[in-house]
Chains A and B, each alone.
Chain A
């Protein structure tokens, strides 16, 4: 009985630790392969970048606009309109949209849209034994498949973040218009509260999110086994692990950023 319980608890724990370890190894291999010449991955990098951009732009546009309109927009406007201080919504949007929701939604959309597509693609290649064939031909799959995806996702997540911020702020502007407020107050508190640390924090955080998502999705795709059900299962696990990884990292990053940059906490 005790052994049964132990094996039910310990075996999954062991295998998940092994997976985390393998992902770390893949990260190290990817970084080394990215730096060490030759650089054969240029074309693939551009292709993957455009592929991710094509998949992500529309979900990201809808998601950020709608989320920023609802969550920080309407809820905060509820409280602020009680005090008659609707212009303060701009200051709140620095905290809500720039520091949190922009990166969160960008990560969720990139993981859910581009990450799943990468896992499905690599998983299908693994199942059809194309990856093994590449290795036989002397082509390194890490250098030629993982590195371009890793760099492309890092780049695109960071850049899409700026795009998410624009549409997030548009959600806030819509709330101001619904409450029939002049927009001057919104922009005044927005620009007086926004600091450069907010912006670089947001973009750097997103770039690192892209790295996490790319490694998890490539790893799950390249280790898919078991035919049709296997590819689907790999996609499922990839997106769950990316979400957990991204949000755990988000918490650590936000706590460190807020605790080490006291100027972010001043209300101006």
Chain B
């Protein structure tokens, strides 16, 4: 019985460590120290866009189709197929997109950072940076956080467009119970610009957490190639839990007591 509880206790321990490390990295970005390496930040942002954007959009597209068919079949069953737009507007913007973004980011970007920094750590490159007088946390972790803040809002916004078109395809072209105009009328009626901002905030909070967790596990990797693999796997566990918790908190804060729907008074 004790053995089964060891793992969660270890995660709680490392959660505190991650929070401390994350606060330090965020402090480095806010205090402007990271702008000493602004070129490196831009290079990292470029890597994120070239390496991850396409994967994110493909993933988001698949989930958009999923939201579309679910909404179409749900409202067909209610006898109101025209209202499929209600489900896909809420599912796309409020829930599925932030979660999809969080999942694929922790898979692609989070573990990628751990693999990269972990390899640097065990081949002693991070110590070499320190010897050269470059502060490694600023150069490696803070630049990546800044790069994420530069690149991901735009990737996220394009992801919204990708997801909307996927839902439109699924509802109007695949299931076909409702005309394009009828679908879009309800679809746009049930969302407004603040919803978009809230959704973006939710997604960016997940992105920040994921990058910080990735940097922490990469930066503290030890134990050779096996250790890097284990750290990569471990970062994924922590990321999955944190993504869900951030998503739930976002929902409670932004939509918990306020449906933001054009129904009733």
Contact = CB atoms under 8 A, between A and B. Distances in A.
Contact of A232 (B107, B228, B255): B228
Contacts of B228: 228-229, 231-232
B42 interface: no
A150 interface: no
Interface residues of B, number: 69
Interface stretch (A153-161, A197-205, A239-247): A239-247
B114 to A, nearest CB: 6
Contacts, number: 189
A54 B264 CA distance: 48
Interface string B57-81: 0110011011001100110111000
A11 interface: no
Contacts of B226: 120, 124, 231
B244 A63 contact: yes
A109 B261 CA distance: 33
Contacts of A113: 233, 236-237, 240
Interface residues of A, number: 60
B251 A247 contact: no
B240 A59 contact: yes
A229 B221 CA distance: 12
B230 A236 contact: no
Chain A CB count within 10 A is highest, among B107, B108, B119, for: B107
B252 A232 contact: no
Contacts of B8: 58
Given A232-B119, A251-B65, A66 B261 contact: no
Interface in B72-116: 73-74, 76-78, 86, 90, 94-96, 99, 103-104, 106-108, 111-112, 114-116
B259 interface: yes
Contacts of B119: 227-229, 232
Interface stretch (A26-34, A73-81, A180-188): A73-81
Contacts of B62: 244, 247-248, 250-251
A228 B225 contact: yes
A69 B108 CA distance: 26
B244 A232 contact: no
B134 interface: no
Closest 3 interchain pairs by CB? A232-B115, A120-B229, A78-B259
Interface of A: 54-55, 57-59, 62-63, 66-67, 69-71, 74-75, 78-79, 81-83, 95, 100, 105, 108-109, 112-113, 116-117, 119-121, 123-124, 127-128, 227-236, 239-240, 243-244, 247-248, 250-251, 254-255, 258, 264-267
Interface of B: 3-4, 7-8, 11, 55, 58-59, 62-63, 65-66, 69-70, 73-74, 76-78, 86, 90, 94-96, 99, 103-104, 106-108, 111-112, 114-116, 118-119, 122-123, 174, 224-226, 228-233, 236-237, 239-241, 244-245, 247-248, 250-252, 255-256, 258-261, 263-264
